[in-house]
Amino acid sequence: MLVRLERYAAVEQLIDDAWEMSCQLDLGLVKLLLEMAKLELYEEMQAAIGSNEIKRSERRTGARRQLQ
């Protein structure tokens, strides 16, 4: 999970760097595409975090059932 989030952070940094370059060059379409890429990245990050939270919750529920 941590490795995946580190990869997301690296991709986010690449997008941010490209964003800064496109701002300097005033490339409107490139900025739009980069913003869309960043939104998609955030959605994937949320899904990964959510999936991890669901797994954690399922493990807790299973542990509680075993204790009862």
Structure confidence at residue 35 (pLDDT): 92
- Rounded Cα distance between 41 and 50, Å, is 14
pLDDT reading at 64 higher than 70:
no
Residues 30-57 pLDDT 10s: 888 889 999 999 999 898 888 877 777 7
Q: How many CB atoms lie within 10 A of CB 25?
A: 10
What residue numbers bound the domain in which 24 lies? 2-67
Residues 9-36 pLDDT 10s: 999 999 899 888 888 887 788 888 889 9
* pTM higher than the cut 0.95: no
- Rounded Cα distance between 39 and 44, Å, is 9
pLDDT reading at 68 higher than 70:
no
Listed residue (17, 41, 22, 45) closest to 32, CA to CA: 22
Radius of gyration of the chain (CA): 18
How many domains does one find in the chain?
Answer: 1
Task: Please provide residue 26's backbone torsions phi and psi, each rounded to the nearest 5 degrees.
Answer: 55, 55
